[in-house]
Structure 1
Amino acid sequence: MKLSKRFDAVPDNIFTFLDGQAMKKREAGLRVIDLGKGSPDLTPPGHIIQKMIDELKRNEVHTYPPFLAIPSLKRAVIDYYWLNHGVSLEEDEVALVPGTKTGIHMVSQAILDAGDAALVPDPGYPDYISGIRLAGGIDVPYPLDKDYLPDLGKIKYEISKNARLIFVNYPSNPISAVADIEVFKEIKGFTQRRGLVVVSDIAYGPITFDNKRSPSFLEVDGAKDIGVELFSLSKIYSMAGWRVGFVVGNRELVKAVESLTVQYFAGVFLPVQEAAVSALKSPYEEIQKVVSIYQDRKEVFTGVLKSHGVEFFNPGGTIYVWYKIPDDASSMTYAAELLDSKGVIVAPGIGFGRGGEGYARVSLTKDVGILEEAAGLIGSFQEEKTRRGRL
């Protein structure tokens, strides 16, 4: 069957590949430490789960849900942004989406016409590219500086003149870099001059380390005039499987996203919405507990890598560690050999763009003991490869 050119343009999903590799090993009866996907292993706070259970017992929730977010959920998002970012939102500036991955696709479809360009970080989250291409757009990578922040001065006019939007992501996936408010001010100035829509992905929001703070792009004066933010409960409340996220900010774009939601989906299951309200009303200490766990995991994992001489970017936040692989290895080959030799799955850097080649990403989504073991296996593997390279 001949499929559309638009579909053929979508790149293979690196995480589907990783799942397949893990499945083959497990079917062969082998132990695998899977650090490839950023899927939290933590459990949502008990009161969120209990709210879900209580809602499931109500007969009326098993019909089609409302097409759009229930008012109490929009108000909970509004309160969250005000309390944590000092950002004032109205209900028509909040759209509910079944996961912010869906939001990426919807924003791309709302903004891009066929042949329009969109700027994406390199390395960066690969689903930006999928969303752009399925909308008929052209993804154009932009460079990052030594701190993995946007190197705006190197984005030439010729590259961006046909662009309609730019994706920015801090705390960043896969690097784990954190941007301060001055970076967002520079982004706003740049995008205003170039006439770009900003899509800020804050999926990891408050998961920051060493007293760092990750602001919202919407904290910048006038940010809502030119952009939206993707906000998710997946990581901060360990609700990745619940598929609930938000597009907030520019009124016109939020309305377009809601219109697309009506066309594509019959809404988000009502008990999930009610549980999301409960999550957003949680004491901030619940998020701090999550941050503390990932901070401890980060310290242990990077400590072992360091003891083996493995270079890495010190994570400012998120649930990832980005580390350098031996110079003579392609990241895909490296990941395959690491799995075969040590039973550890990591995400090859090339899966996040050309700028990711020479690196690999690890997800801190296992208990500390397992992460310590995995870091030791990675370290010994790299030492073995380095010794072989010298022979």
Structure 2
Amino acid sequence: MPPCDFPEGGTPLSADEAEDLLRCICFKTGPPRITGVELEWFVHELHVPQLTVSTDRLRTAFTTLRSLPLKSALTFEPGGQLELSSPPAASLTECLTTVSADLTAVRTALRAMDLALAGYGIDPWQPPRPRLLHEPRYDAMETYLDRSGPAGRAMMRDSAALQISLDAGYEEPGPLGFARRWRLAHALGPVLIAAFANSPSLHGVRTGLRSTRQQLWSDLDPVRVLAPPLAGDPRAAWAAHVLDTPVMCVRGDDGPWAVPDGLTFRDWLRGGGPRPATRADLDYHVSTLFPPVRPRGHIELRMIDAQPGEDGWIVPLAVTAALFDDPEAAEAVYRAVEPLLDDTGPMAPPRAPLWTAAARDGLTHPALHAAAVTCFELALEALPRVGADTSVRDAVAAFHDRCVVPGRCPADDHLTCVPGASGTSGKDVRT
């Protein structure tokens, strides 16, 4: 795409300008070379993780952590989840090295306060936690999501994810072309959900799912969590999807932000909002869309549960980066998973049947199990070619042997060992 010149953030936009802008910025193409990861963690008592950490202790801990000299961005989510967002890294190895060092610093500081990080898609023990962050953004988000049911509050306060960011890829067609990588991300999505499902309970009660977190996300909102149509031009499809999705809120300088009902961004651009929509409003609106794969210049894969153990996050990052950025693996894995792709319409990801099956069944689903075995074998072959060291390859191989081959995922371990999660609720997880 050629360089784009558009109005500054506070200048009103026309509908045509907004659509052209979205087409220009959603996929920034070039050689795939940048990798990033965002890790969310729960903060638990070090010695008795089942005990609730008080709000005051969490706030004190967060104040201490903000003083650490980290390379990753450190933020906190509404339910007290800690998030580390890596800087863009020039290689998988650089990303792993940076985040590992930052995690060591965070864990050391928390340990001095008798606290620890815990990796779960949903906290397996804690009851619903009051929202810790009371800011206009989160107040408006909660008001908006409440209109679709209680899944929004559970997502904000009780869930944690692992998000992987990769370059969009080349403009030209081919295994590393952006259109192919866009489709690959959606085809691979249910395989990643199934392999790394790590949230079989909500508020200490089994839900009958292996990734309750994924199901909560799919239930958030009728439109904003869906993938756009995957056939045709990705830029045009994404631009139309953004403009036709309802606005979550209209930001203001004073007081609560307005939360309109049913106002799409296209309607706002055509004069339907309380004031003219600007470039800054469009940028913010995009940040409130929660599809499983989101183009932000680069591609964000948002469907993976937070992982157990100190280094469990390394495996999904390494596998995904190898499958996307090694040309040989990218071509082979696309041929393997493209038949799984659910394409367009109201059953688009994440509500497509295979995505629902991935959250429920994990790798006990035959098609997902077969695809995962192929994906891990291709990743293991590709990891040396993308520069992964022996420790990373050993971690992926161990997960392959322990979980993928026998058709298990981290959630299966929790179902047998997490106290308080031994019963099945028999009710909809959204309640």
Using the size of structure 2 for normalisation, the TM-score is: 0.25
